[in-house]
């Protein structure tokens, strides 16, 4: 019998919509740069990871610009899964 994978949802369309415009620009530039070098599935993974980080940023850092963030508790946020 195979083991089931538990996935905690920590993003939502509403939170993604609230991402700081500066961070959205940085994310688009990063993904555009990577798109020339990476497979489509890698880009999908990067997009998911960035959405998780920026949703965390909304909740824990008052939606600061990525350049201004210094919080190191992101890993704890992912482990704890603060969003339902």
Q: Where are the domains of the chain?
A: 13-80
Above 90 in pLDDT, residue 39?
Answer: yes
69, 23 Cβ separation under 8 angstroms: no
- pLDDT for residue 82 is more than 90: no
Q: At a CB cut-off of 8 Å and minimum separation 6, what does 21 contact?
A: none
The secondary structure of residue 67, as a DSSP letter, is: G
How many angstroms separate the first and last alpha carbons of the chain?
28
pTM of the predicted protein model: 0.77
Per-range mean pLDDT, top range of 11-20, 51-60, 71-80: 11-20
State residue 61's pLDDT score. 86
State the virtual CA torsion across 33, 15, 8, 74 in degrees, nearest 10: 60
């Amino acid at each position: 019998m195979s083991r089931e994978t538990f996935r905690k949802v920590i993003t939502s369309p509403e939170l993604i919509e609230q991402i700081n415009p500066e961070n959205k620009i940085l994310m688009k530039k990063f993904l555009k740069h990577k798109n020339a070098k990476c497979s489509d599935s890698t880009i999908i993974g990067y997009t998911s990871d960035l959405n998780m980080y920026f949703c965390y940023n909304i909740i824990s850092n008052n939606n600061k610009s990525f350049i201004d963030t210094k919080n190191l508790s992101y890993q704890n946020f992912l482990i704890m899964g603060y969003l339902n």
